[in-house]
Amino acid sequence: MHGAIDILIAGSNAPQSTAIELILTHEGHRVTCVSSGAQALAHIKSLQPNLVLLDPELAEISGLEVCQRLRADAATAELPVVMITPDTRTVFQRKLAALGASAVLSPPLAPQNIIDLVAQFNTGESDEV
């Protein structure tokens, strides 16, 4: 098992974000939730998370734009960004990949799927809790 990592969840669906937060904190990760793109950018800068779970439909600044900004900044260009979206259309999935999404998570959001996805990006380089 890898160590705990810092995860930022930026989601417009509060119940979904809370559910994901509970799953990941139960796994020992440190999770922060925000509800807008502006908050996401501010928290990424201050918290320097190991992973970002990002909703494309955020308020103020869309998750799509947040992802683009992260990729354009040398300090965050390699930060894993998982887009959370119910849109499973191939064209939209390709758009997310082109914008720099590391992976896409679509419902149903089964706890084990979330845990497995986060494990893919947990290199074990962060501090153990």
115, amino acid identity: I
The whole-angstrom separation of Cα 36 and Cα 115 is 24
Packed helices 37-47 and 63-72: angle between N→C axes, nearest 10 degrees? 30
Average pLDDT over residues 93-118: 91
Q: How many domains in the chain?
A: 1
Is the per-residue pLDDT at 124 higher than 80?
no
CATH of the domain at 17: 3.40.50.2300
pLDDT of 125 reads 46
pLDDT of 38 reads 97
Closest CA to 9 of 47, 28, 1: 47
- pTM of structure: 0.89
Within a domain: residue 127?
Answer: no
Within a domain: residue 18?
Answer: yes
Task: Give per-residue pLDDT as tens, 68-83.
Answer: 999 999 999 999 999 9
How would residue 101 be classed by pLDDT, with cut points 50, 70 and 90? Answer: very high
Task: Give per-residue pLDDT as tens, 12-40.
Answer: 999 999 999 999 999 999 999 999 999 99
Structural domain harbouring 57: 6-119
Q: pLDDT > 90: what percent of the chain? A: 78
Within a domain: residue 115?
Answer: yes
The whole-angstrom separation of Cα 17 and Cα 9 is 7
pLDDT of 1 reads 45
